[in-house]
Amino acid sequence: MLCLVVLLVLGCLGQDVWGCSCGRRHPQAAYCSADFVIQGRFIGKTQHKTQEQGRVKYEIKTTKIFKAPDGMDDIQFLSTPLMESMCGFEHHISNKSQTFLITGHVVNGKLEIDQCNFIVPWASLSAAQKRGFQEVYRKACSCNIVPCYSGTCSLESDSQCLWTDVLVHWQEPLNGAQSKYMACVDQGNGLCTWESQKPSAIAARNKKAISATKEE
């Protein structure tokens, strides 16, 4: 019976939309696996004509680039499949002033997004996540975040952190504490552990580091 429940949960997690299935990812994992991560506004939408049928092109006003391939200093257009069943990212531009965090991939030199990417209003991110995208995640990509879908997960190497939000909040794992407030950070010796990125926790760590220096 328990097996059945686990299978059902796994099935639901994997199959977000018919024909398009995305695994859930911690924001840090989304940052690390993306080719580009930006902050920007959706300002226009056009359907590709002859060259690339079946695709939609969004015009973006990029306000910050957190990650991009070398030499790419502006990002203006993002392409996505027209059909949602092909994982196309459907965005209704209701407010061109609203800023989003957008992750995506570079395919044959072109910038692409789809439903499996992490694309959310910037204002919906927690302070810890904003800091994560701005500086923490970049330095933590040697660590691997492994989703735990059942009660019997274990780590296979020092570089891994178990992401248990999937288990606790399986419908909305991004609302879990690890997703909202934590990053999986290398402690300096290849050992990665969850570390709170809440402003209060960072202040406490800094204070501790300063007093440790004084004692030396």
* Residues 188/194/198/203 CA torsion (nearest 10 deg): -30
SS3 99: strand
With contacts defined by CB under 6 A, name the span among 19-27, 92-100, 185-193, 204-212 that binds ligand NAG: 92-100
Is residue 67 within 8 A of residue 9, CB to CB? The reply is no
**Contact between residue 161 and residue 192 where contact means Cβ atoms under 8 Å apart:** yes
Angstrom distance (rounded) from CA 29 to CA 130? 14
Measured between alpha carbons, how far is 203 from 205 in angstroms, rounded to an integer? 6
| Pick 46 or 95: Cβ nearer ligand NAG | 95
Does 95 sit near ligand NAG (CB under 6 A)?
Answer: yes
Position with the least CB separation from ligand NAG: 95
Stretch that binds ligand NAG, among 59-67, 93-101, 111-119, 130-138 (CB under 6 A): 93-101
Determine if 98 is a binding residue for ligand NAG (CB under 6 A). yes
Cα–Cα distance, 112 to 47 (Å, whole number): 14
* The only residue of 97, 108, 200, 213 in contact with ligand NAG, by rule CB under 6 A: 97
Binding flag, residue 63, ligand NAG (CB under 6 A): no
Considering beta carbons, is residue 6 or 127 the nearer one to ligand NAG?
127
Q: How far apart are CB 141 and ligand NAG at their closest, in Å?
A: 29
The annotation status of 20 as a binding-site residue, yes or no, is yes
For residue 81, which amino acid is it?
Answer: P
C-alpha 26/C-alpha 182 separation (Å) is 10
* Min CB(95)–ligand NAG separation in Å: 4
State the binding site for Zn(2+): 20
Write out the residues near ligand NAG by the rule CB under 6 A: 95, 97-98
